[in-house]
Amino acid sequence: MATEQRVIVGGRKPLGQAAGRTAPEPEETEAPGGKKKGKLLVIVGAVVVLALGAAAWFLFLAPGGDESAEPEVEEVVLGEVLQVDPVSLNLANGRYLRLGIALQLVEGAGAHAPIDTARALDQAIALFSGRDIAEVSDPVVRDELKAELVHQLEETYHHEVVDVYLTEYVTQ
Protein backbone atom coordinates (compact mmCIF):
# COMPACT_ATOMS: atom_id res chain seq x y z
CA MET A 1 0.00 0.00 0.00
CA ALA A 2 1.27 3.39 -0.96
CA THR A 3 1.14 6.30 1.40
CA GLU A 4 0.95 9.83 0.31
CA GLN A 5 3.00 12.42 2.07
CA ARG A 6 2.44 16.15 1.61
CA VAL A 7 4.84 18.89 2.57
CA ILE A 8 3.27 22.23 3.31
CA VAL A 9 5.64 25.11 3.31
CA GLY A 10 4.81 28.09 5.45
CA GLY A 11 2.73 26.35 8.02
CA ARG A 12 -0.81 25.09 7.94
CA LYS A 13 -3.14 26.48 5.25
CA PRO A 14 -6.64 27.65 6.08
CA LEU A 15 -9.47 25.24 5.26
CA GLY A 16 -10.50 26.93 2.02
CA GLN A 17 -7.08 26.47 0.44
CA ALA A 18 -6.67 22.75 1.07
CA ALA A 19 -8.40 21.61 -2.16
CA GLY A 20 -6.71 24.11 -4.43
CA ARG A 21 -9.29 26.83 -3.88
CA THR A 22 -7.93 30.32 -3.53
CA ALA A 23 -9.12 32.42 -0.69
CA PRO A 24 -9.06 36.15 -0.65
CA GLU A 25 -5.75 37.60 0.44
CA PRO A 26 -5.71 38.13 4.16
CA GLU A 27 -5.63 41.77 5.31
CA GLU A 28 -2.20 43.03 5.99
CA THR A 29 -1.60 43.08 9.66
CA GLU A 30 0.70 45.59 11.23
CA ALA A 31 4.05 44.31 12.12
CA PRO A 32 4.78 44.79 15.78
CA GLY A 33 5.79 48.42 16.20
CA GLY A 34 5.08 49.32 12.58
CA LYS A 35 2.65 52.20 12.09
CA LYS A 36 1.93 52.54 15.80
CA LYS A 37 5.61 53.07 16.53
CA GLY A 38 5.84 55.71 13.80
CA LYS A 39 2.85 57.62 15.20
CA LEU A 40 4.33 57.49 18.67
CA LEU A 41 7.63 58.88 17.41
CA VAL A 42 5.84 61.74 15.65
CA ILE A 43 3.90 62.62 18.80
CA VAL A 44 6.96 62.46 21.05
CA GLY A 45 8.93 64.55 18.56
CA ALA A 46 6.20 67.19 18.45
CA VAL A 47 6.09 67.40 22.25
CA VAL A 48 9.88 67.80 22.44
CA VAL A 49 9.86 70.54 19.79
CA LEU A 50 7.06 72.40 21.61
CA ALA A 51 8.88 72.11 24.95
CA LEU A 52 12.12 73.44 23.45
CA GLY A 53 10.26 76.28 21.78
CA ALA A 54 8.52 77.24 25.01
CA ALA A 55 11.79 77.15 26.94
CA ALA A 56 13.51 79.33 24.33
CA TRP A 57 10.65 81.83 24.43
CA PHE A 58 10.72 82.10 28.23
CA LEU A 59 14.49 82.42 28.38
CA PHE A 60 15.21 84.67 25.42
CA LEU A 61 12.12 86.23 23.90
CA ALA A 62 9.72 86.77 26.80
CA PRO A 63 8.88 90.37 27.65
CA GLY A 64 10.59 91.92 30.71
CA GLY A 65 7.87 90.66 32.97
CA ASP A 66 7.26 91.79 36.50
CA GLU A 67 10.20 93.86 37.69
CA SER A 68 9.18 93.40 41.31
CA ALA A 69 10.05 89.70 41.07
CA GLU A 70 13.73 90.57 41.46
CA PRO A 71 14.73 92.20 44.71
CA GLU A 72 15.72 95.76 44.19
CA VAL A 73 19.09 96.75 45.53
CA GLU A 74 19.05 100.22 46.96
CA GLU A 75 22.11 102.16 46.07
CA VAL A 76 23.59 103.63 49.18
CA VAL A 77 24.75 107.20 48.91
CA LEU A 78 27.71 107.66 51.21
CA GLY A 79 27.74 110.56 53.59
CA GLU A 80 30.35 111.82 55.99
CA VAL A 81 32.97 109.78 57.81
CA LEU A 82 32.71 110.19 61.58
CA GLN A 83 36.00 109.81 63.44
CA VAL A 84 35.90 107.99 66.80
CA ASP A 85 38.63 108.72 69.35
CA PRO A 86 41.21 105.91 69.62
CA VAL A 87 41.20 103.69 72.70
CA SER A 88 43.68 101.27 74.28
CA LEU A 89 42.24 97.81 74.87
CA ASN A 90 43.56 95.11 77.18
CA LEU A 91 44.42 91.87 75.43
CA ALA A 92 45.28 88.51 76.96
CA ASN A 93 48.64 88.03 78.78
CA GLY A 94 49.16 91.69 79.67
CA ARG A 95 49.27 92.90 76.05
CA TYR A 96 47.23 95.73 74.59
CA LEU A 97 45.75 97.00 71.36
CA ARG A 98 45.47 100.65 70.41
CA LEU A 99 42.33 100.79 68.26
CA GLY A 100 41.04 103.76 66.32
CA ILE A 101 37.94 103.58 64.12
CA ALA A 102 35.95 105.81 61.83
CA LEU A 103 32.31 105.25 60.87
CA GLN A 104 31.18 105.60 57.25
CA LEU A 105 27.67 107.03 57.40
CA VAL A 106 24.97 107.13 54.74
CA GLU A 107 23.92 110.49 53.36
CA GLY A 108 21.55 112.22 55.76
CA ALA A 109 22.53 110.08 58.75
CA GLY A 110 22.08 111.87 62.03
CA ALA A 111 19.50 114.27 60.60
CA HIS A 112 16.99 113.46 63.34
CA ALA A 113 19.63 113.25 66.13
CA PRO A 114 23.41 113.44 66.23
CA ILE A 115 25.27 110.13 65.95
CA ASP A 116 26.55 109.06 69.38
CA THR A 117 29.94 107.36 68.93
CA ALA A 118 29.94 105.97 72.47
CA ARG A 119 27.85 102.96 71.39
CA ALA A 120 30.26 102.22 68.53
CA LEU A 121 33.24 102.44 70.86
CA ASP A 122 31.51 100.19 73.42
CA GLN A 123 30.85 97.50 70.81
CA ALA A 124 34.44 97.69 69.50
CA ILE A 125 35.82 97.30 73.04
CA ALA A 126 33.56 94.30 73.71
CA LEU A 127 34.55 92.64 70.42
CA PHE A 128 38.33 93.17 70.45
CA SER A 129 39.39 93.13 74.13
CA GLY A 130 40.58 90.01 75.94
CA ARG A 131 41.81 88.30 72.76
CA ASP A 132 45.27 86.83 72.29
CA ILE A 133 47.82 89.04 70.50
CA ALA A 134 48.43 86.35 67.87
CA GLU A 135 44.72 86.36 67.10
CA VAL A 136 44.35 90.14 66.61
CA SER A 137 47.64 90.29 64.67
CA ASP A 138 46.40 87.78 62.06
CA PRO A 139 45.07 89.75 59.03
CA VAL A 140 42.32 87.20 58.34
CA VAL A 141 41.03 87.35 61.91
CA ARG A 142 41.31 91.14 61.89
CA ASP A 143 39.12 91.30 58.77
CA GLU A 144 36.59 88.92 60.35
CA LEU A 145 36.45 91.04 63.52
CA LYS A 146 36.01 94.19 61.47
CA ALA A 147 33.18 92.59 59.46
CA GLU A 148 31.47 91.54 62.70
CA LEU A 149 31.82 95.10 64.05
CA VAL A 150 30.29 96.50 60.84
CA HIS A 151 27.35 94.11 61.18
CA GLN A 152 26.80 95.06 64.83
CA LEU A 153 26.99 98.78 64.09
CA GLU A 154 24.58 98.55 61.14
CA GLU A 155 22.03 97.04 63.52
CA THR A 156 22.78 99.47 66.36
CA TYR A 157 22.56 102.57 64.19
CA HIS A 158 19.61 101.32 62.07
CA HIS A 159 21.62 101.09 58.83
CA GLU A 160 22.98 104.62 59.09
CA VAL A 161 26.51 103.16 59.46
CA VAL A 162 27.56 101.17 56.40
CA ASP A 163 31.27 100.59 57.01
CA VAL A 164 34.02 100.91 59.59
CA TYR A 165 37.57 102.03 58.88
CA LEU A 166 40.43 101.07 61.16
CA THR A 167 42.40 104.30 61.61
CA GLU A 168 44.73 102.94 64.31
CA TYR A 169 45.63 99.31 64.97
CA VAL A 170 48.76 98.94 67.07
CA THR A 171 49.54 95.96 69.30
CA GLN A 172 52.17 95.72 72.02
What does the pLDDT look like over 42-87, one tens digit per residue? Answer: 888 888 888 888 888 777 776 665 555 566 667 888 989 999 999 9
Strand order in the sheet with 96-106: 78-90, 96-106, 161-171
Contact 47, 76 (CB under 8 A): no
Q: Give me the percent of the chain exceeding a pLDDT of 90.
A: 45
78-108+115-171 is classed CATH 3.40.80.10: no
Q: What is the pTM of this model?
A: 0.57
Cα–Cα nearest to 130, from 94, 100, 164? 94
Residue, of 52 and 37, whose pLDDT is higher: 52
Nearest-angstrom CA–CA distance, 170 and 91: 12
Coil/strand/helix, residue 118: helix
